[in-house]
Structure 1
Amino acid sequence: MDILFTNFNHHYLMINSAKKFLVLFFMLIGFFGFAQENSDEIHHHSISILLGHTTIFQGFENGERKTESEPSWAINYNYMFNDKWALGLHNDIIIENFVVEKTSGDEILERNTPITSLIVGTYKIFDGFGVELGGGLEFDKNESFGVARIGAEYGIEITKHNLEVLISLDYDIVIDAYDGLNIGIGIAKLF
């Protein structure tokens, strides 16, 4: 019973810390957003939701390593400084439990619907297409890991409704754990 209570407390504290971080981040973004001049040419803020699949290359089942594909969701916020540069908070959740063999090959990890939160910088190479680089943490009730991300995103803006249809491709390196390739499609509200 004590072990269950300790695991619950650890998980609760981890989620509480993540919530505090998200609230602080959005408050800061809001402050900086209102401090900026409004421009008719650029929407400084975007909130997006994407449905995706994460391919995990170090999956482990029945004593063998195998590649797995798990369903995932992403909820992202980006602040555009100008028409080329953006900074955002990207949050992904793999909605399945899975087992991986660590990249070092010496340990098996159980992952239970891990949540990843990253600070991501985006540079728009041309209208609609940007490359991403960022880092953050993957939270799980068993163990948390640092994450590095490199990716690309293509958006098709629907100007009449201030929306954007997004296609994204991200490669995550979950440090000392496993690698994942995220492919997603979704929609963003620009404001």
Structure 2
Amino acid sequence: MNTVTIFFVVVLLIPCTVLAQEPPAQHKKHQLQVLISHTQIHSGLDLEGNRKWQSLPSWGLNYNFQVADTWKIGLHSDIVVEDFQVAAMGRNEAEVLDRSYPIASALVASRKLADHFQLLIGIGGEFAPGQRFLLFRGGIEYGYYLDENWELIGNVTNDFKWEAYNSWAIGMGVSRLF
């Protein structure tokens, strides 16, 4: 079996072995998350310049601070670990943007909707050699408590990059509460 298959089997079996999924009794103020994800870009371009849907590997590193029972603020950063080209939105149709390992960072506010779901909204920027873009981020996150210090998380986020392109990502990872 390859490592990806083993990873997904373990991720699917761990929740079955955990008896309780209650939030930690003691509220922890800090949360550090590491995610592996895929960023989806519908306005990507292939080598010949034709539009092509692209699914690119990416990593996420997020920090959150609990400010109230249902609210968190944080810094969420993603990096796409490939070079790619996209057709610019809202600009000259012929304009092509070259992106090389772009890092998208956003200041995010999170609102807890239920024990496990959070709604995310934020503003930030995407940074890569050559050009930077303003971005607006929205998303939803699901957290599954393993114990009082660890949580499995899954999220879906959408980044709207002003006058550039849109992307959305689906990711899975772990969160450390402290």
Q: TM class by shorter-chain length?
A: 0.7 to 0.9
Confirm whether residue 118 of structure 1 aligns to residue 118 of structure 2.
no
Which SS does the other structure have where 1:82 is aligned? coil
Which SS does the other structure have where 1:126 is aligned? coil
CA contact (8 A) 1:89 1:120 kept: yes
How many residue pairs get aligned? The number is: 152
* Structure 1: gaps (5+ residues): 1-38
| Off by >4 Å, runs of 4+ in structure 1 | none
Q: Distance in 2 between matches of 1:44 and 1:52?
A: 25
Q: 1:40 Cα deviation (Å)? A: 5.8
Partner amino acid, structure 2, of 1:128:
H
Over the aligned positions, Cα root-mean-square deviation in angstroms equals 1.3
Q: Give the alignment's TM-score, normalised by structure 1.
A: 0.77
**Aligned counterparts, 1:5-20, within 5 A:** none
Which SS does the other structure have where 1:176 is aligned? coil
Q: Distance in 1 between matches of 2:25 and 2:152?
A: 20
Q: 1:185 Cα deviation (Å)? A: 0.1
**Aligned counterparts, 1:139-178, within 5 A:** 139-160=127-148, 162-178=149-165
Identity of counterpart residues, as a percentage? 37
Partner amino acid, structure 2, of 1:139:
F
Point out which structure has higher relative CO (alpha carbons under 8 A, 6+ apart). 2
Confirm whether residue 136 of structure 1 aligns to residue 121 of structure 2.
no
**Aligned counterparts, 1:20-31, within 5 A:** none
Confirm whether residue 96 of structure 1 aligns to residue 71 of structure 2.
no
CA contact (8 A) 1:42 1:82 kept: no
Aligned mate of 1:187, from 154, 174, 177:
174
Confirm whether residue 65 of structure 1 aligns to residue 41 of structure 2.
no
Q: 1:83 Cα deviation (Å)? A: 2.2
Q: Deviations over 1:36-74 (max 9, x none)?
A: xxx963111000100000000110121211110000000
Q: Give the alignment's TM-score, normalised by structure 2.
A: 0.82
Which SS does the other structure have where 2:163 is aligned? coil
Q: 1:118 Cα deviation (Å)? A: 0.5
Q: Distance in 1 between matches of 2:30 and 2:42?
A: 34
